[in-house]
């Protein structure tokens, strides 16, 4: 549906912002380095917001239960009254409304520290320390002889260009807020002098705080059930060639690469880890005993090891989390559940029709909790981890990272929670089906 924004400043001055159709109410309050906005869009649950000035640029997804969305544009690099473009989109990238505002000037711009003695100008930053922290990046470096530098901070979701002034002893230190940057994404910091000479260039991974092990079992639907959660991939892969299934001649060699977010630019391995650790905790809260095949990005778990881990603990189920990719068609979306078909281990677990019923049960629970209607349950001989598992094993493609809408949803905490709830419900129904619980 096409709309236009009716912009209401703090004192409710209303004027049309972009005539695209029907009227939308937008309220903004402008402060130095920040613009707070509130917009009412009753027919949306998630929207995508983008804003940009000459020095700041960012995008993020917002969620609302009742259509009242609010958020803040952070403008660390914008010090004068420059123009701010503020755009609201659907998750499929369709423009809902747009407006242009004027940023507030910063009355407290810091100049160079008094008493800097003109040392011989360094061409490279010294004592550099770049530290990812929650919501941003902390920096410390020395640059003798330079009164000021321009610092650029860039991630796939946002970038900022900030003028920094030297403190005593030509030390530069502080924090760049990067609230729109996803966990574990690559952030690059570069600093240049007024003359355009690059004096610093560093890359770090944005802050990620893995959820701690839960200690509470608030409900007990899964008492006595053991589940293994296998977050697919890891930061860097190693090539292996292993037997595809027990009793077969065929081998499988690691496919290099993994799905990557078409819009978020995120790595599949980070998404499976984020959702996997949330799933671990949710299953434990239901009373299940849970093992995970990995708890961090910088590790390596081989294809066979991903079956050995659940086999060695005699798990009742193993859930292998992945995100899908179809570069040839960005419209494809949905949840897919893959079960093994012909391996001797798979046949010992369940007959083909029973496996199909189990896979379908997991799929339907996930569809019910996420609202994703598209999807399929497929039996095949493709996946080594599935083929070598001695218990019901499901490779779950939670969504397509090549589809803009699904890519944005997969990284949103609200949608991740729905995926987790769906999988927990799926395990409860499977445990009943297998006679493990009442
Ligand atoms: Zn994968």
**Tokens 């920096």 found at:** 139
Q: Are residues 254 and 191 in the same domain?
A: no
Distance 229 CA to ligand 1 centre (A): 14
Buried b (16+ CB within 10 A) or exposed e, 249-278: eeebeeeeebbbbbbbebbbbbbbbbbbbb
Report the 3 state secondary structure along 373-402.
CCEEEEEECCCHHHHCCCCCEEEEEEEECC
Distance 276 CA to ligand 1 centre (A): 13
Distance 262 CA to ligand 1 centre (A): 15
pLDDT at 389: 97
Distance 325 CA to ligand 1 centre (A): 8
Averaged pLDDT for residues 280-286: 96
Q: Are residues 201 and 303 in the same domain?
A: no
pLDDT digits (tens, 9 = 90+) for 215-227: 777 778 999 999 9
Q: Check which CATH number belongs to the domain holding 410 and give it.
A: 3.40.630.40
Q: Are residues 284 and 341 in the same domain?
A: yes
Distance 116 CA to ligand 1 centre (A): 54
Q: Are residues 297 and 424 in the same domain?
A: yes
Distance 156 CA to ligand 1 centre (A): 21
Distance 306 CA to ligand 1 centre (A): 13
Torsion angle of C-alpha atoms 188, 400, 361, 319, degrees rounded to 10: -30
Q: Are residues 19 and 71 in the same domain?
A: yes
Q: Is residue 214 part of a domain?
A: no
Q: Which of 86, 102, 118 is the last residue of a domain?
A: 102
pLDDT digits (tens, 9 = 90+) for 163-180: 999 999 999 999 999 999
Distance 289 CA to ligand 1 centre (A): 25
What are the backbone dihedrals phi and psi of residue 231, each rounded to the nearest 5 degrees, phi first?
-70, 115
Q: Is residue 42 part of a domain?
A: yes
pLDDT at 255: 86
**Better-predicted residue by pLDDT, 115 or 351:** 351
Averaged pLDDT for residues 377-399: 97
- Give the model's confidence band at 13: pLDDT under 50 very low, under 70 low, under 90 confident, else very high: very low
Q: Are residues 355 and 279 in the same domain?
A: yes
- Contacts of residue 170, defined as CB under 8 A and 6 or more positions apart, other chains included, come to 116, 119, 142, 143, 144, 145, 146
**Tokens 């029709």 found at:** 353
Domain count, the chain: 3
Q: Check which CATH number belongs to the domain holding 170 and give it.
A: 2.60.40.10
Distance 180 CA to ligand 1 centre (A): 25
Provide the domain limits for residue 268: 226-433
Q: Is the pLDDT of residue 11 over 70?
A: no
Distance 117 CA to ligand 1 centre (A): 56
Q: Are residues 165 and 241 in the same domain?
A: no
Distance 246 CA to ligand 1 centre (A): 22
What's the rounded Cα separation, in Å, for the pair 86 and 199? Answer: 33
Distance 420 CA to ligand 1 centre (A): 17
Tokens of 245: 């299934």
What's the rounded Cα separation, in Å, for the pair 333 and 335? Answer: 7
Distance 126 CA to ligand 1 centre (A): 41
Q: Is residue 110 part of a domain?
A: no
Residues with beta carbon < 5 A to ion ligand 1? 232, 322
Q: Are residues 184 and 251 in the same domain?
A: no
Buried b (16+ CB within 10 A) or exposed e, 152-166: bbbbbbbbbbbebeb
Residue 424: how many other CB atoms lie within 10 Å: 23
Query: Is 112 in contact with 165 (CB distance < 8 Å)?
Result: yes
pLDDT at 197: 94
Distance 237 CA to ligand 1 centre (A): 12
**Tokens 């296998």 found at:** 230
Q: Are residues 164 and 135 in the same domain?
A: yes
pLDDT at 6: 63
Q: Check which CATH number belongs to the domain holding 38 and give it.
A: 2.60.40.1930
Averaged pLDDT for residues 150-160: 97
Q: Is residue 330 part of a domain?
A: yes
Which of 19-23, 121-125, 142-146, 397-401 comes out lowest in average pLDDT? 19-23
Averaged pLDDT for residues 266-289: 97
Averaged pLDDT for residues 365-393: 97
């Amino acid at each position: 549906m096409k709309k236009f924004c009716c912009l209401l400043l703090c004192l409710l001055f209303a004027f049309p912002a972009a005539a695209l159709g029907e009227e939308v109410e937008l309220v903004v309050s402008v402060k130095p380095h920040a613009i707070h906005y509130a917009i009412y869009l009753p027919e949306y649950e998630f929207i995508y917001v983008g804003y940009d000035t000459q020095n700041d640029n960012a995008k993020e997804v917002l969620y609302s239960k009742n259509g009242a969305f609010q958020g803040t544009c952070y403008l660390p690099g914008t010090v004068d009254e420059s123009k701010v473009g503020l755009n609201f989109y659907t998750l499929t990238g369709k423009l809902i409304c747009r407006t242009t505002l004027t940023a507030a000037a910063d009355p407290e711009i810091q100049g160079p520290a008094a008493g800097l003695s003109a040392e011989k100008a360094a061409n490279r930053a010294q004592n550099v320390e770049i530290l990812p922290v929650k919501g941003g990046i902390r920096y410390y470096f020395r640059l003798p002889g330079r009164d000021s530098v321009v610092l650029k901070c860039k991630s796939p979701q946002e970038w900022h260009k900030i003028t920094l002034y030297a403190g005593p002893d030509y030390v530069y230190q502080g924090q760049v807020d990067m609230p729109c940057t996803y966990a574990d994404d690559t952030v690059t910091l570069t600093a240049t002098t007024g003359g355009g000479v690059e004096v610093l260039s560093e890359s770090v991974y944005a802050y990620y705080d893995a959820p701690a092990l839960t200690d509470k079992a608030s409900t007990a639907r899964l008492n006595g059930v053991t589940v293994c959660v296998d977050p697919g991939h890891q930061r860097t892969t190693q090539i292996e060639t292993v037997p595809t299934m027990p009793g077969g001649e065929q081998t499988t060699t690691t496919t290099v690469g993994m799905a990557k977010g078409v819009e978020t630019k995120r790595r599949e391995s980070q998404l499976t880890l984020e959702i996997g650790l949330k799933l671990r905790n949710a299953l434990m809260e239901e009373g299940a005993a849970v093992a995970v095949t990995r708890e961090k990005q910088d590790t390596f778990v081989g294809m066979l090891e991903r079956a050995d881990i659940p086999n060695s603990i005699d798990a009742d189920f193993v859930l292998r989390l992945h995100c899908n990719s179809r570069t040839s068609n960005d419209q494809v979306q949905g949840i897919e559940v893959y079960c093994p078909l012909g391996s001797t281990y798979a046949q010992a677990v369940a007959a083909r029709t029973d496996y199909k019923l189990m896979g379908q049960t997991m799929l339907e629970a996930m569809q019910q909790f996420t609202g994703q209607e598209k999807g399929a349950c497929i039996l095949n001989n493709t996946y080594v981890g599935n083929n070598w598992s001695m218990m019901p094993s499901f490779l779950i493609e939670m969504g397509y990272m090549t589809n803009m809408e699904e890519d944005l949803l997969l990284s949103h905490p609200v949608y991740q929670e729905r995926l987790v709830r769906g999988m927990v419900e799926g395990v409860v129904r499977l445990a009943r089906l297998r006679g493990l619980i009442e």
